[in-house]
């Protein structure tokens, strides 16, 4: 789905796609906190989400013919307008007629994969462990903590909705960097020994900062590394993204078990900084490629 949107639609479409992911991510904790608080049952919450997922599957099957129709029309328009070289966002890549046998050897790809690893790692770590941190280290009730994490996902959702409009005027690369800096500021606020209201602001800033990063990086894939390599690279990027989702939160759990949950803000900040460094290394490599012709 990400590769389809990256190839056939604009950056604001990618942001709005992931904005509606945020709608679901925001709704999920609200559903769970409702069933836990009102019915003292998490199983009912999972049942409600399962019903929504089944409805989604039916809708996707019903709309599959539209995908091929849109792809055909977009590709026809693309052939009429594209040149052999694509230059955008300070990147220069060969056209889609030049696929690479081993996409991992393309300069900048490995750094991009590391950025995806830490992006999804930090996003999931905050989503899964944020409430535990608020309960264990800041003495917030479980119901209130679940609501606050919903606001974190709400920050991602609202940020992507707004970013979709901003991409019409500002380049993706600038928005990605601005988002990374905003998230790091939120991480610093969370780390400082300030009042609980500042902790809430920290979570919100992290959410707002993360908003443009993931869809922005995904949408840049065909432009940076070529359309012929885009589908395979999307697969690798998703693999590293879900590796971060799968491994980094449990690793923090091991750390928290051996020390205490109070290390949460520090770990989040380290993940954010590593993501920023990896992403900026990609930009430097691509800029050097332009200068060298």
Quote the tokens at residue 53: 């997922």
Task: Categorize the per-residue pLDDT at 90 as very low, low, confident or very high, splitting at 50, 70 and 90.
Answer: very low
Return the pLDDT at 41.
77
Q: Which carries the bigger pLDDT value, residue 100 or residue 14?
A: 14
Return the pLDDT at 74.
66
Q: pTM of whole model > 0.85?
A: no
Residue 96 has pLDDT above 50, yes or no: no
Residue 35 has pLDDT above 80, yes or no: yes
Q: Please compute the mean of the pLDDT values over residues 262-285 and round it to a whole number.
A: 94
Task: Categorize the per-residue pLDDT at 83 as very low, low, confident or very high, splitting at 50, 70 and 90.
Answer: very low
What domains sit in the chain, N to C, each tagged with a CATH number?
Answer: 2-82+103-291 (1.20.1250.20)
Return the pLDDT at 77.
61
Q: Which carries the bigger pLDDT value, residue 39 or residue 105?
A: 105
Residue 278 has pLDDT above 80, yes or no: yes
Residue 154 has pLDDT above 60, yes or no: yes
Task: Categorize the per-residue pLDDT at 81 as very low, low, confident or very high, splitting at 50, 70 and 90.
Answer: low
DSSP string for 109-145: HHHHHHHHHHHHHHHHHHHHHHHHHHHHTT---HHHH
Q: Please compute the mean of the pLDDT values over residues 203-216 and round it to a whole number.
A: 91
Q: Please compute the mean of the pLDDT values over residues 217-222 and round it to a whole number.
A: 86
Task: Categorize the per-residue pLDDT at 127 as very low, low, confident or very high, splitting at 50, 70 and 90.
Answer: very high
Residue 221 has pLDDT above 50, yes or no: yes
With b for 16 or more beta-carbon neighbours within 10 A and e for fewer, the 8-25 pattern comes to beebbbbbbbbbebbeeb
DSSP H helical ranges for the chain: 2-8, 11-39, 42-81, 109-136, 142-166, 172-191, 196-210, 213-225, 227-258, 264-291
Task: Categorize the per-residue pLDDT at 222 as very low, low, confident or very high, splitting at 50, 70 and 90.
Answer: confident
Residue 224 has pLDDT above 80, yes or no: yes
Residue 89 has pLDDT above 50, yes or no: no
Residue 68 has pLDDT above 90, yes or no: no
| CA-CA-CA-CA torsion sign (28, 31, 37, 41) | negative
Quote the tokens at residue 184: 């790091």
Residue with tokens 């988002």: 179
Average per-residue pLDDT in the chain? 84
């Amino acid at each position: 789905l990400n590769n389809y949107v990256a190839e056939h639609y604009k950056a604001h479409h990618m942001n709005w796609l992931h904005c509606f992911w945020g709608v679901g991510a925001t709704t999920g904790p609200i559903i769970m906190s409702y069933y836990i608080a009102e019915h003292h049952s998490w199983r009912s919450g999972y049942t409600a989400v399962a019903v929504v997922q089944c409805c989604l599957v039916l809708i996707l099957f019903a709309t599959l013919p539209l995908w091929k129709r849109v792809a055909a029309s977009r590709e026809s328009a693309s052939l009429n307008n594209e040149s052999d070289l694509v230059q955008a966002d300070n990147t220069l890549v060969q056209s889609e007629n030049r696929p690479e046998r081993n996409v991992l050897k393309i300069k900048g790809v490995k750094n991009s994969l590391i950025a995806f690893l830490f992006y999804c790692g930090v996003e999931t770590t905050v989503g899964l462990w944020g409430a535990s941190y608020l309960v264990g280290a800041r003495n917030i009730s479980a119901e209130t903590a679940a609501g606050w994490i919903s606001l974190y996902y709400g920050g991602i959702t609202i940020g992507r909705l707004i970013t979709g409009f901003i991409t019409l005027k500002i380049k993706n690369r600038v928005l990605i960097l601005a988002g990374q800096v905003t998230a790091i500021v939120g991480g610093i606020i969370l780390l400082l020994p300030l009042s609980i209201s500042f902790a809430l602001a920290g979570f919100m800033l992290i959410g707002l900062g993360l908003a443009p990063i993931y869809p922005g990086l995904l949408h840049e894939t065909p432009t940076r590394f070529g359309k012929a390599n885009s589908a395979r690279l999307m697969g690798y990027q998703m693999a590293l993204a879900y590796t971060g989702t799968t491994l980094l939160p449990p690793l923090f759990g091991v750390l928290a078990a051996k020390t205490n949950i109070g290390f949460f803000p520090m770990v989040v900040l380290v993940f954010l900084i590593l993501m920023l460094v990896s992403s900026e290394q990609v930009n430097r490599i691509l800029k050097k490629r332009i200068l060298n012709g």
